Structure 1
């Protein structure tokens, strides 16, 4: 019996237990010693299961309500954090609550890209259709076809969506800017070429075009629209600069 009392391992355990008992109960003190002496693996499993099954992060009080009285919840949390530190999921604190989430360095595996639909106004739909079917077209020509003014906001929205682009300037008085659709527009609507666009009658029936179309309005031939003989095309830098200048103005929506 005397040999047992002098066993250094037994003495170390007794010293650790005495130290743990001297630490305040709950989460007020350092968790390390209390965890080593008081907490059982089963408690870790319970907390682990609760956090995995939860649909939202859990706070310490919620976890404590499911555990025996005087359980060192903070110590269990720290133990689980250490356990999952190098795993594919980590235990992290979010706004004072805890949850498991994918390790930060593996986030790219679960990242997905999705397109958020952006509803176009009737004015934008009509303007887009006119540009698609009658490019290269100027703003004045769009207004003549629609019968109403085209606001900067309408054209700006289509430019920002990259469905239309600035093509160049007409060699006519005032040097008006011309517009055309982009490859992004073609790809979004699954068009191999412009001849795949719906007929004018279909667009009229859908209410996307005014019935007041000029006699010379026609659908472009297949393939990309070729440069107009009376049009000076923009370079990419010129188009970008004009777009910036264009955005400086402010007009009411139509």
Structure 2
């Protein structure tokens, strides 16, 4: 039997036991090695290759790693009952705006949607673990700004925000009405503003 590198075994054990995705620094701290002494990233890549095509997979979400059920087998574990709470249309649109424009303030979300949002909408998204406060905008009033979380990437099967579908893809699927119209309107206004600015100069 081929002996397995003890570092790889340790990394595998730490990830298996963790309820949340872990960064390389977190893994290193749990394994108990100093930076540079052991190549944690190489161990992760070895494990990723080892689990490819199996019932569980080692995946990266943003800068964090975790084990999950192979996507093609997820249906075996899906519960028959529906989730007790579903996102409202306002919640879905707000989440989409934050994902594509983060970090973004409440006022900016409302400007894109064209209507006010209730505090409860953001609360639901934060309770779901998909949205988090990301500081304050350095403008008068210093409004809170919001961004997505690693849990958002994990839930929607994204490695990074760059994997989000483009506007054309969403429009073709009919998923951004009326949000896509608002985005286009804002882009047109920005273009007109830039043109007028150049004309004034």
| TM-score between the two structures when normalised by the length of structure 2 | 0.48
| TM-score between the two structures when normalised by the length of structure 1 | 0.39
Greater helix content? 2
Which is higher, the Rg of structure 1 or of structure 2? Answer: 1
